A and B are shown apart, each in its own frame.
Chain A
Amino acid sequence: MRLSDAEKAMLDGDAGPAKARAMDLLLRYGEALGADRLIEVSHVAGTWSSTTPFVQADLPEADDFDTIFSRFNLDSDITVETPRAVVPTCQLIHGIDTRNHAAQGFSDAQAALQRKSEHFFGSRGVQWCSTCTPYQVGHVPLKGQHVAWMESSAVVYANAVIGARTNVEGRESTGAASITGRIPYFGLHVPENRVATHRVDVEIPVRTMRDWGLLGYAVGSMVQEEIPVLCGIDALPRPEWLKHFGAAAASSGGVEMYHIPGVTPEAASADEALGGTAPRHVHRYGAAERRRAWDRLNGANTRDDVNFVMLGCPHNSSDQMWRIAELLEGRRVHGSVALWVHTPRQIRHLCDESGVTGTIERAGALVMSDSCPAINRMTPQGTQVIATDSCKQAHYLPAITGYQTWFGSLEDCIDAAITGRFRGSPE
């Protein structure tokens, strides 16, 4: 790896021990990748979560945040003082919702430690957005900007929808990037690696969030880690639909980048998306492929007596919250069902102030932030059968919780919450 003079100075400790440890990690990481240099990043989204059992193990004190940062954000055995972030930096989703921690099964002490960690890292430049969707709450890079993001659903949105450039980073690399402003120049930072390799011919209309989720789940299975270009999309999607598409494609496969000619910013045509070369594979997405995606998610379920409904993976936008309030207005969640609605804390505040939280919670649901059941493995007491409007959550929850999980439209999930039965269908 070739380092600039400024990077060498950081490695040599001229900017303090934390940046020396960060540069050491970035050097080891870059060499592992086979990268030949680092690149400056203008934004970091990572995690400084300090309350999980992994992070808390063998700590001298539960609130020894410098040791947590050194071990888990820099991979350093030596404890260094946590410096301020040098580029705009935000915290992604984490485990504890400090307003609803009791419902999640966390103690007051755990919630207090969570708040303390937010103040500690907040004073060092970390903005506790506490969401898997930083792009919904003001963290929106420009097209072409290099950033260092974790969270597969956010990475694919940043690359494909925004046109920013990031690989799927991890806790240690984003920690190092936040205090050095650097990340290895590799993968999707390199322009020629951003062109499509696979073409997917979409032969049926894709018109709703459920449609886009199923398309994403199918495309992820088809292309795995490769870059698809979707042809045949004849109606402009909403941002939320692309959010669900990317999250699904990054769950069934490892999609980090895609193109939709005329919609996403890096390709006006399929030919431009493919960089003027022929696709390595052409896939088709018709009624049979859509049905197969539905069956992969729902086919193993044997019980329809849902008692937990989870909405908001990735976290709901404000528009989605308003729509949920509209659907729940004057209705009542079934006595044996828990309905949890997840949104970023900034949007929850907006909902609190606009009466939307009140409408949702008067129906017997709970508006939650900061977390989700897949991240913290916490579900309401007595959960046996789950319904969700998210392919990603439906993909992960059976493995994580052991419970049957239905994927359906938002309307099907609200119906399940009201009646206690999942009656959704793929059409």
Chain B
Amino acid sequence: MSETRDTIVLRGRKVVGGVTEGEAFVTRDTVSGWGGIDARTGTITETLHDKVGHSFAGKVLVFPGAKGSSGWSHYFHAARLMSTAPAAMLFTVMTTKVALGAVVTRVPAMTDFDRDPFEAIEDGDWIRVDADAGLVEISKTRNPRR
């Protein structure tokens, strides 16, 4: 991957390996598992969250990390079993909750980026995640909403 006029490449550390692509779902709010998502639909349910009512199912979830109950991994585990999990997870703050959650969700996941993903990635960008190579390619031109 190399940067062009319409793409940005982030480098980071693999949390869970794999390669995938999808539309970006970006929130600067941390996400609760138990009491914060509806695993049947992949929807954020926390009332004061900036994405309340929106679903991350099949999208590349870009978020600071996990908060709340130790049930975090169990609820994302359930989302995987109900096919509502995100396609990938990109986050900035490492905790046991988000690490175990990413592992049992079994989707490509990365952290420790060389630049701020919240500056580089916007909702709707098309994201290719190659966690094995530690690369995230952000495409602005393939954003279907633009």
Residues of A within 8 A of B95 (CB): 168, 187, 225, 254
Contact assessment for B46 and A399 in the assembled complex, using a CB-CB cutoff below 8 Å: yes
Question: Which of A58, A173, A184 has the most chain B CB within a 10 Å cutoff?
Answer: A173
The stretch that binds A, out of B19-27, B55-63, B72-80, B117-125, is B72-80
> Does B103 sit within 8 A of A, measured CB to CB?
yes
Asked if B39 CB lies within 8 Å of chain A CBs, one says yes
Residues of A within 8 A of B74 (CB): 54, 72, 170-172
Contact of B47 among A34, A374, A399 (CB under 8 A): A399
Contacts of B35 in A (CB 8 A): 374, 396, 399-400
Residues of B contacting A389 with CB < 8 Å?
none
Question: Given the known A-B contacts A33-B94, A75-B103, are A170 and B46 also in contact in the complex, defined by CB atoms under 8 Å?
Answer: no
Encoded as 1 (CB less than 8 Å from any B CB) or 0, chain A from 142 to 178 comes to 0000000011100100000000000111111100000
Most buried by A among B15, B82, B100, B102: B100
> Which partner residue on chain B sits nearest A166 by CB separation?
B96
Q: Which of B16, B82, B96, B104 contacts A167 (CB under 8 A)?
A: B96
Q: Is A109's CB within 8 Å of the partner chain B?
A: no
Question: B23 to chain A: closest CB distance in Å?
Answer: 24
Stretch at the interface among A24-32, A120-128, A232-240, A287-295: A24-32
Q: Is the CB of B102 within 8 A of A32?
A: yes
Chain A residues lying within 8 Å of B51, measured Cβ to Cβ, are: none
Report A395-426 CB contacts with B as 1/0, cut-off 8 Å: 01011100000000000000000000000000
Chain A, Cβ-Cβ closest to B74: A171
**Residues of B in contact, count (CB < 8 Å):** 32
Known contacts: A152-B70, A170-B70. The answer to whether A187 contacts B47 by CB under 8 A is no
Cβ contact within 8 Å between A169 and B96:
yes
Binary per-residue interface labels of chain A (13-31) against chain B in the complex, 1 for a CB within 8 Å, 0 otherwise: 0000000000001001100
Is A106 on the interface with B (CB-CB < 8 A)? Answer: no
Contact B78 A54 (CB under 8 A): yes
Q: Are A152 and B69 in contact (CB under 8 A)?
A: yes
Closest chain B residue to A30, Cβ basis: B99
Cβ-closest chain A residue relative to B33:
A170
Does chain A have a CB within 8 A of B67? yes
Q: B1 in the interface, Cβ–Cβ < 8 Å?
A: no
B30 to chain A, nearest CB (A): 8
Instruction: Check A6 for interface membership: any CB of B closer than 8 A.
Output: no
Please, which residues of chain A bring their CB within 8 A of the CB of B104? 75, 170, 172
Does chain B have a CB within 8 A of A322?
Answer: no
Query: Is there contact, CB below 8 Å, between B101 and A170?
Result: yes
Report Cα–Cα, A155/B133, bound state, in Å: 35
Interface status of A186 (Cβ within 8 A of chain B): yes
Contact between B96 and A172, CB atoms less than 8 A apart:
no
Q: Does A57 contact B (CB under 8 A)?
A: yes
Contacts of B78 in A (CB 8 A): 54
CB contacts (< 8 Å) of A57 on chain B: these are 81-82
CB atoms of B99 and A32 under 8 A apart: yes
Nearest-CB residue, chain A, relative to B16: A32
Residues of B within 8 A of A33 (CB): 94, 96, 99
Q: Chain A interface: which size bin?
A: 20 to 34
Q: Are A170 and B100 in contact (CB under 8 A)?
A: yes
Question: Once the chains bind, are A75 and B77 in contact (CB under 8 Å)?
Answer: yes
Q: A273 to B27, alpha carbons, bound, how many Å?
A: 34
A169 adjacent to B100 (CB under 8 Å):
yes
Say whether chain B's binding surface is mostly helix, strand, loop, or mixed: mixed
B13 CB-CB contact with A under 8 Å:
yes
CB pair B70–A72 under 8 Å, yes or no, is no
Q: Which residues 100-144 of A sit at the B interface, judged by CB distance below 8 A?
A: none
Closest residue of chain A to B80 (Cβ to Cβ) is A75
Q: With A and B bound together, what is the CA distance between A152 and B74 in angstroms?
A: 14
Choose among B39, B82, B94, B100 the residue that contacts A29 (Cβ–Cβ < 8 A): B100
Complexed CA–CA distance, A167 and B52 (Å): 28
Q: Which chain B residues (27-62) contact chain A, with CB distance < 8 Å?
A: 35, 39, 45-47
- Distance between Cα atoms of A33 and B82 in the complex (Å): 25
Q: Quick check: A173 and B100 within 8 Å, CB to CB?
A: yes
What chain A residues lie within 8 Å of B72 (beta carbons)?
A: 170
Provide the residues of chain B in CB contact with A399, threshold 8 Å: 35, 45-47
From 95 to 139 in chain B, residues with beta carbon under 8 angstroms from any chain A beta carbon are 95-97, 99-104, 109
Closest to B75 in A: A54
In whole angstroms, what is the CA distance A374 to B72 when docked?
Answer: 15
Chain A neighbourhood of B109, CB < 8 A:
32
Which residue of chain B is the closest to A398 with respect to CB atoms?
A: B47
Most chain A C-beta atoms within 10 Å of own C-beta, residue among B47, B74, B96, B99: B96
**In the complex, how many angstroms separate the beta carbon of A149 from the nearest chain B beta carbon?**
8
Complex Cα distance, B68 from A374, in Å, reads 13
- Complex contact A173–B96 (CB within 8 A): yes
| Residues of chain B at the chain A interface (Cβ within 8 Å) | 13, 15-16, 35, 39, 45-47, 67-74, 77-78, 81-82, 93-97, 99-104, 109
Interface residues in chain A, defined as those with a beta carbon under 8 Å from any beta carbon in chain B: 25, 28-29, 32-34, 54, 57-58, 71-72, 75, 150-152, 155, 167-173, 184, 186-187, 225, 254, 374, 396, 398-400
5 smallest CB-CB distances across A and B, nearest first, come from A170-B73, A150-B70, A32-B99, A167-B96, A54-B78
Interchain residue pairs with CB less than 8 A apart (13) = A32-B15, A54-B81, A72-B74, A168-B96, A169-B70, A169-B100, A170-B71, A170-B97, A187-B95, A225-B93, A398-B47, A399-B47, A400-B35
